[in-house]
Structure 1
């Protein structure tokens, strides 16, 4: 750990030697804010493209947005709402920025978009592999992914091989310094928790307080162990769905044995279509009325609502950034083995929820600049909360990260993005922790609505 701290400190110091362009701050300088999005402020910071070789190389810019503190400012709170994706353009929508209003009561809320996610490639990313895996589809996808990466090499420029969370963590520390903060106060949700873990590993000594919501574990390299918890959670949600349907007369399958209906559908020729469609919805209780209505239609022989619909073309680098942090197992046999083990653990639907992350998602991409999962050092100034019923970032992920950091874990009934989706109990604990440093009492727990 001392070696990491020494290396990080040297790199951060070297960043001050960079030359900045007009209107863009260099790491170590103050930020040049400008008005944007009707009352908010925007800026950019220029940082080394490769923090491992911080002097004399390419530089890149990281976009920032600030919601100014309204009262009794405590400092700056750095925020990443997840993805990996751009979130700053979403602040044009009042309802989106309202989610952060309580945090801005006491902090300048500074949101950053991770490096490189505003790059547009010449062609869209290939459609992701679907389940169940097939060798021919895997081979075609790997070839298409390789072509996508090659075709985008010029557009990527200095970002090529430098999109992983370890590079982003250095960007975060440069932002901290440019904000004039001695310590980082951080709020990361969903994929933002991967950046938080990377920062804790490199700069834990500079953390003031850190809140990680819906934590995606970046400490476990075994893809089966990593994915199993989410698969099992999704499987459990199917049985929770059945219980809800039995109790709610508004459910389209009310009075029916939902599990028996599901099993009969799995024996039909449309089973794959049904599983894929349901797997995308089983993780959010709010989608259950539509999910059960779709299952009722499918039982009557109509699966038209479940047919895949093409979305808008995506020519950005979110998947490439994800694959820098979570590279798939190499080769089709290894991927097939993962799917087989998840089927054994969660045979009805859970196996189909998780494999998109470990089913060749990254096959064909260059294996460069990887930030592979690794254990974390203790850093107790952290609060972690995950939803009990969230298969995307399962509770086991949050408990594991909290234990490694020696932080506090707040269990909560619910699904994904607890704070941003308005869990009042979670929000109260988060505000108390970020404002005063007070952690939840041992044994504290939050319900679905708080």
Structure 2
């Protein structure tokens, strides 16, 4: 992807917020109250056009005894209010103490939604085997991005975490909170990092779960941490299989079988008769469609590998997942600008030396988002400085290769007095209900008390 300069105001410069009128809350069904505020489409040009930010509130159970407002972003980037409406059970504990407020990021849902006229492309084989395959996908993604930018109007070029962090400051002011109490998950941690850097003295308490590091300028180190985590998950799969009699590869070396299947598919794609008499599955297709991350998939994966070893790769003909919401990739690629194909192949070669089985494929997920998108103003990763920031609590799951634990530790080392909570688990520790993590988070958000020195959370029971 072509990268243009970051915001002309400077990478870490905050803009003074506009005075925001307190929201007028109205019942909007499902026990929620909804409201809107107006903010500049471009915080670097506050006198320009305004856009709407939609808010939703799940009121505290005890209004007289509540501790204030907790602003939440569950990640994505994508719609948030719909998630609150459909998943109130995930926030119920928090409403013991807080009004839980969620906002749709600019461009989504109730916040001046941008309805891109054509959908974002979806690659069923997202480990691109050749440059022509990558270029063909990039051309489709460029067409999508150009059409979406025209539809975005004043928001075109203004979809990144720098802008959204300023929206969050406007929300804090509109809600009448002296300090922001915030819970961010996944990409919500990128927003949290931006807010902490731009408005460190406006932070009250902040919990960041499954951190996406936004402080590593170059992609190589950022990718290396993900590759190592994914390779470790392949090794966890192998250990499980060796110790589980129902594993289809029990009694064999599962990773040796993986190597054999990948080598065979690389030399000559393997037939997949269930998908059609002419269908053949290549090594890059297998890499695209293999999930070592989640234990719940391991039984089926082992059976699929056993069949592939015997010459039937039908298991790997199945495409799981769905296209990401169109705007998600626009924001992701503004926050995490990504190289073009030639540089990515060099990164893949470098990662293959250290993570030869599967970790190297981590080069490609972001390429599926960013390939060919038209240039935009970006807020790229950079080392973070946040003088005056109060202690922040951070936790990542040890088995999470989407946001590896090394990302959380790196961020914690840069934030003054931050505390990193080690936890055995995967992505979204709080929202997947990890009891130990939730206990520490609740104590911190309600009292400010951090986990004891040396505390960690084992597997969720």
Please say whether Structure 1 and Structure 2 have the same fold, judged by a TM-score greater than 0.5: yes
Is the counterpart of residue 409 in structure 1 residue 420 in structure 2?
yes
Indicate conservation of the 8 Å contact 1:122/1:151, yes or no.
yes
Is the counterpart of residue 134 in structure 1 residue 130 in structure 2?
yes
Instruction: Label 1:214 to 1:313 Cα distance change in 2 as closer, same or farther (>3 A).
Output: closer
Aligned to 1:433: 444
Is the counterpart of residue 196 in structure 1 residue 188 in structure 2?
no
Alpha-carbon separation, structure 1, partners of 2:335 and 2:381: 7
Deviations 1:295-337 (A, max 9, x none): 23323333223225486666621101101101112x3321211
Is the counterpart of residue 253 in structure 1 residue 264 in structure 2?
no
Aligned to 2:394: 384
Superposition deviation, residue 207 in structure 1: 0.1
Instruction: Label 1:5 to 1:137 Cα distance change in 2 as closer, same or farther (>3 A).
Output: closer
Alpha-carbon separation, structure 1, partners of 2:27 and 2:246: 48
Is the counterpart of residue 277 in structure 1 residue 283 in structure 2?
no
Alpha-carbon separation, structure 2, partners of 1:41 and 1:256: 57
Which sections of structure 1, spanning at least 5 residues, go unmatched?
A: 17-27
- Alignment RMSD (CA, Å): 2.1
Instruction: Label 1:418 to 1:52 Cα distance change in 2 as closer, same or farther (>3 A).
Output: same
Aligned to 2:370: 362
Deviations 1:345-388 (A, max 9, x none): 2110111134322x364232232220010111143420000011
Counterparts of residues 30-45 of structure 1 (less than 5 Å): 30-45=22-37
Quick one: which of 68, 72, 82 aligns to 1:79?
A: 72
TM-score normalised per structure 2: 0.88
Q: Which runs of 4+ in 1 moved over 4 A?
A: 3-7, 310-315
SS at match of 2:289: helix
Alpha-carbon separation, structure 2, partners of 1:135 and 1:308: 24
Indicate conservation of the 8 Å contact 1:120/1:315, yes or no.
no
SS at match of 1:421: coil
Instruction: Label 1:295 to 1:45 Cα distance change in 2 as closer, same or farther (>3 A).
Output: farther
Instruction: Label 1:226 to 1:78 Cα distance change in 2 as closer, same or farther (>3 A).
Output: same
Alpha-carbon separation, structure 2, partners of 1:350 and 1:409: 25
- Which 10-residue stretch deviates more, 243-252 or 41-50? 243-252
Alpha-carbon separation, structure 2, partners of 1:372 and 1:419: 27
Is the counterpart of residue 289 in structure 1 residue 299 in structure 2?
yes
Indicate conservation of the 8 Å contact 2:75/2:185, yes or no.
yes
- Which 10-residue stretch deviates more, 161-170 or 150-159? 150-159
Superposition deviation, residue 173 in structure 1: 0.5
Superposition deviation, residue 445 in structure 1: 0.6
Alpha-carbon separation, structure 2, partners of 1:352 and 1:417: 22
Instruction: Label 1:268 to 1:6 Cα distance change in 2 as closer, same or farther (>3 A).
Output: closer
Which sections of structure 2, spanning at least 5 residues, go unmatched?
A: 1-8, 266-280
Aligned to 2:352: 343
Instruction: Label 1:360 to 1:247 Cα distance change in 2 as closer, same or farther (>3 A).
Output: closer
Counterparts of residues 38-437 of structure 1 (less than 5 Å): 38-55=30-47, 57-71=48-62, 72-93=65-86, 96-117=87-108, 118-128=113-123, 130-269=126-265, 270=281, 271-278=283-290, 281-309=291-319, 316-329=326-339, 331-357=340-366, 359=367, 361-378=369-386, 379-406=389-416, 407-437=418-448
Count of aligned residue pairs for this structure pair: 427
Superposition deviation, residue 293 in structure 1: 2.8
Alpha-carbon separation, structure 1, partners of 2:414 and 2:138: 35
